[in-house]
């Protein structure tokens, strides 16, 4: 009879766990349900939307021998994240709904794995439930869930990391090793997992450690590091360490992240954080960290709290300023892992209260988190929403204005493109790699001085760039400054004597490829070619004609007309201009102008043929 009661208790316990897991999943789904209509934003476009690598599964092996990069070496190696984008594209095409679903399912899976892991390690279901609720709804995870290019690698790594730890804690080593491998190939954070394995075996586990299993982890790690050293241009982590930041930046980052977790209303889409000039400026932050460490030492016998704080600091270390993190030193997505430690610590203190009081504390906290999440989801709805919010969050930085400028240009709004790019150059933090694109937009808008300024910024970072000098020469030509036109043209010719032929040949090749892709209705591929051509010479007539054709194919007839009209003003005898104008006028229902342009096309086509067949003069 006693045995039956014990079995009944076990079944009821398992049922309660199933109910809790289901509740967590449904709650996350409800909080993030307004993300299903979101589009692609920011780096999504460059990394996997416009990237031809994701158009075929034949490219899958290449992901394991290349680093995660857009404009140059990054030191990141995340092939599994790339593979997940390839799978999404194969299923959903370029419909962002599928990508949104994948990110959300990974966040739900990570939350459920966290619950199971905490329950396994500490045998406290309520503690695991509260900690998982706090983590899964905390607004600091919002960016990771919403931002595909920036968050997918973290979501994959977190999901497989927690599964690996769960299997390890249950002494199921082969699944643990498999998940460890998947976590490693998702993001570098997984290199820290063995430290958690060791802590569990030495401090948390009731059974004798089985260190033989570590040989399998070592074999996977060796294989990963071998592939990574082949794929990454700068594979040595130690060479990238910046120990100066240990005192000049890290203390502030640690405290700021902690404050944002305590008070999530202070979260931003971007932060302006830079190393301090003197160590004394960091003293308040160092004092704060010292108090935290003292509190940890005082409470070190409470294993749940010790595990939580250890997890927080362990996974915060790689993003605390010691290693390069790219565009910004601080971002919410950097601390997705560390927020688990914060949630565990907060849950520990909440669970010290009586059972009824726990619900009274947790419910309003979760409602508050959910409300912030629901609001912040809207920031990631589309490019305009994101960059507009970025401008509000960090008005002193130029990155938001710069991205808004490019976005407006892509939408055919040249005036707003020029306006935002002009503001960007009065700010700090603009991206010098984008100066050619900015200069071409200013050039197209006949804002010659601003175009020249943008190219001068470019030369500060790449003083010997051939294309910069070539563009400068063309801009001074259009400005009417013959002296500087010759000066920069000569500078370009000193680098490459055949610069004119080389550039024109490249432009013609890009236009031919664009025409071919337009014929196949591959509009994304055609746009990629045109973007490169526009950076070289936005006033090259075939480029303008192809830009007008692409706009017409997408149904933006006013934008198409603008490109074709400009091409006509530059070369009224170029037959394709008249032909495409005729087609656009026909699509607009303007039959009179369509017929006029078709007649001009026939006349220009005859003249071009006669000129081509005319005998050369001796």
Quickly list DSSP for 164-214.
HHHHHHTT-HHHHHHHHHHHHTT-GGGGGHHHHHHHIIIII-SSPP-GGGH
Helices (H), 463-556: 466-479, 482-495, 499-519, 523-536, 541-553
DSSP tag of 208: P
DSSP tag of 397: B
Which of helix, strand or coil describes residue 114?
helix
Q: Are 557 and 588 in contact (CB under 8 A)?
A: yes
Instruction: List, in order of start, the domains of the chain with CATH numbers.
Output: 2-379 (no CATH), 396-497 (1.25.40.10), 534-613 (1.25.40.10)
CB neighbour list of residue 270: distance below 8 Å, 6 or more residues apart: 328, 331, 390, 393, 394, 397, 399, 400
Specify the pLDDT at position 328: 83
Q: pLDDT per residue over 65-97, tens digit each?
A: 888 776 667 778 999 999 999 999 999 999 999
Between 324 and 134, residue with greater pLDDT = 134
Q: Which residue has the tokens 């396994």?
A: 120
Tokens of 151: 């968050």
Q: pLDDT per residue over 184-228, tens digit each?
A: 999 999 999 999 999 888 888 777 777 777 889 999 999 999 999
CB neighbour list of residue 221: distance below 8 Å, 6 or more residues apart: 184, 191, 194
CA gyration radius for the chain?
Answer: 29
CB neighbour list of residue 146: distance below 8 Å, 6 or more residues apart: 35, 38, 103, 376, 377, 379, 380
Q: pLDDT per residue over 289-344, tens digit each?
A: 999 889 888 888 889 999 999 999 999 999 988 877 777 889 999 999 999 999 99
Say how far apart CA 513 and CA 526 lie, in whole Å: 7
Which of 37-51, 388-402, 464-478, 495-509 has the highest average model confidence (pLDDT)? 388-402
> Could you tell me the CA-to-CA distances from 333 to 121, 157, 509 in Å, in that order?
26, 13, 41
Which of helix, strand or coil describes residue 170?
coil
Specify the pLDDT at position 615: 54
Say how far apart CA 565 and CA 559 lie, in whole Å: 10
pLDDT at 99 over 90: yes
Tokens of 165: 């730890």
Which of 26-40, 413-427, 437-451, 455-469 has the highest average model confidence (pLDDT)? 26-40
In the chain, % of residues over pLDDT 70: 95
SS (H, E, C) 564-611: HHHHHHHCCCCHHHHHHHHHHHHHCCCHHHHHHHHHHHHHHHHHHHHH
Specify the pLDDT at position 8: 52
DSSP tag of 62: G
Pick the range with the lowest mean pLDDT from 399-403, 529-533, 544-548: 529-533
Specify the pLDDT at position 11: 56
Tokens of 196: 């958690």
pLDDT at 428 over 90: no
CA 615 to chain centre: 57
pLDDT at 1 over 60: no
Specify the pLDDT at position 190: 94
Q: Which residue has the tokens 């991205």?
A: 403
Specify the pLDDT at position 2: 43
> Could you tell me the CA-to-CA distances from 351 to 114, 123, 347, 601 in Å, in that order?
17, 14, 6, 80
Q: pLDDT per residue over 449-501, tens digit each?
A: 999 999 998 888 888 888 888 889 989 998 899 999 999 989 988 888 888 88
Specify the pLDDT at position 277: 85
DSSP tag of 381: S
Query: φ, ψ for residue 397 (rounded to 5)?
Result: -100, 150
> Could you tell me the CA-to-CA distances from 381 to 35, 96, 147, 535, 594 in Å, in that order?
7, 11, 10, 28, 39
pLDDT at 143 over 60: yes
pLDDT at 118 over 60: yes
Pick the range with the lowest mean pLDDT from 114-128, 232-246, 543-557: 232-246
pLDDT at 4 over 50: no
Specify the pLDDT at position 521: 81
Residue 288: count other Cβ atoms within 10 Å of its Cβ. 16
CA-closest candidate to residue 339, choices 232, 257, 235: 257
Rounded to two decimals, the pTM is 0.86
> Could you tell me the CA-to-CA distances from 186 to 150, 157, 221, 261, 365 in Å, in that order?
12, 5, 13, 25, 32
Across the chain, what does the average pLDDT equal? 88
pLDDT at 426 over 90: no
Residue 473: count other Cβ atoms within 10 Å of its Cβ. 21
Say how far apart CA 102 and CA 145 lie, in whole Å: 9
Q: Are 249 and 321 in contact (CB under 8 A)?
A: yes
Q: Are 169 and 193 in contact (CB under 8 A)?
A: no
Say how far apart CA 50 and CA 44 lie, in whole Å: 9
SS (H, E, C) 246-300: HHHCHHHHHHHHHHHHHCHHHCCCCCCCCCCCCHHHHHHHHHHHHHHHHHHHHCC
Query: φ, ψ for residue 570 (rounded to 5)?
Result: -85, -35
Tokens of 254: 């640690």
Say how far apart CA 371 and CA 464 lie, in whole Å: 52
């Amino acid at each position: 009879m006693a045995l039956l009661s014990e079995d009944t208790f076990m079944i009821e316990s398992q049922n309660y766990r199933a109910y809790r897991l289901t509740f967590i999943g449904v709650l996350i789904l409800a909080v993030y349900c307004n993300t299903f209509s979101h589009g692609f934003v920011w780096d999504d476009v460059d990394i996997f939307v416009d990237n031809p690598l994701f158009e075929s599964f034949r490219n899958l092996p290449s992901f394991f021998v290349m680093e995660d990069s857009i404009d140059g070496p990054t030191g990141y190696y995340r092939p599994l994240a790339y593979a997940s984008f390839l799978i999404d594209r194969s299923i959903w095409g370029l419909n962002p709904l599928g990508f949104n679903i994948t990110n959300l399912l990974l966040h739900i899976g990570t939350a459920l794995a966290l619950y199971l892991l905490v329950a396994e390690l500490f045998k406290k279901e309520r503690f695991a439930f509260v900690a998982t609720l706090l983590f899964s709804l905390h607004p600091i995870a919002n960016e990771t869930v919403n931002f595909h290019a920036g968050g997918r690698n973290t979501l994959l790594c977190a999901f497989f990391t927690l599964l690996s730890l769960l299997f390890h804690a249950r002494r199921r080593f082969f699944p643990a090793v498999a998940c460890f491998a998947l976590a490693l190939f998702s993001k570098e954070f997984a290199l820290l997992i063995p430290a958690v394995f060791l802590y569990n075996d030495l401090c948390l586990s009731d059974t004798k450690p089985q260190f033989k299993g570590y040989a399998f982890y070592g074999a996977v790690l060796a294989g990963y590091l071998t592939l990574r050293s082949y794929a990454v241009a700068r594979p040595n982590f130690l060479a990238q360490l910046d120990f100066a930041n240990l005192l000049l930046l890290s203390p502030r980052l640690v405290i700021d992240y902690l404050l944002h977790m305590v008070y999530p209303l202070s979260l931003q889409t971007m932060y302006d954080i830079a190393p301090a000039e003197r160590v004394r400026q960091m003293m308040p932050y160092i004092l704060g960290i010292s108090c935290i460490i003292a509190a940890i030492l005082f409470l070190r016998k409470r294993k749940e709290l010790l595990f939580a704080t250890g997890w927080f600091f362990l996974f915060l270390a790689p993003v605390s300023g010691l290693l390069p993190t790219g565009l910004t030193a601080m971002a919410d997505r950097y601390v997705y892992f560390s927020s688990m430690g914060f949630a565990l610590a907060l849950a520990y203190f909440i669970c010290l209260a009586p059972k009824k009081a726990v619900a009274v504390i947790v419910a309003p906290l979760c409602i508050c988190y959910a409300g912030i999440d629901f609001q912040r989801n809207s920031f990631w709805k589309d490019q305009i929403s994101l960059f507009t919010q970025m401008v509000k969050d960090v008005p002193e930085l130029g990155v938001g204005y710069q991205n808004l400028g490019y976005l407006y240009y892509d939408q055919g709004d040249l005036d707003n493109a020029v306006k935002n790019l002009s503001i960007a150059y009065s700010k700090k933090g603009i991206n010098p790699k984008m100066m050619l694109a900015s200069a071409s937009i200013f050039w197209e808008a006949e804002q010659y001085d601003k175009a020249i300024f943008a190219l001068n910024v470019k030369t500060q970072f790449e003083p010997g760039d051939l294309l910069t000098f070539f563009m400068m020469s063309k801009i001074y030509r259009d400005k009417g400054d013959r002296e500087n036109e010759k000066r920069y043209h000569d500078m370009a010719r000193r680098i490459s004597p055949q610069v004119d032929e080389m550039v024109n040949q490249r432009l013609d090749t890009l236009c031919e490829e664009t025409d071919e892709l337009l014929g196949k209705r591959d509009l994304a591929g055609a746009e990629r070619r045109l973007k490169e051509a526009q950076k070289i010479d936005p006033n090259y007539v075939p480029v303008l004609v192809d830009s007008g054709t692409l706009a017409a194919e997408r149904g933006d007839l006013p934008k198409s007309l603008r490109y074709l009209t400009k091409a006509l003003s530059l070369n009224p005898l170029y037959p394709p201009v008249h032909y495409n104008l005729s087609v656009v006028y026909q699509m607009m229902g303007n039959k009179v102008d369509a017929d006029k342009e078709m007649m001009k096309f026939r006349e220009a086509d005859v003249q071009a043929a006669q000129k081509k067949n005319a005998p050369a003069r001796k």
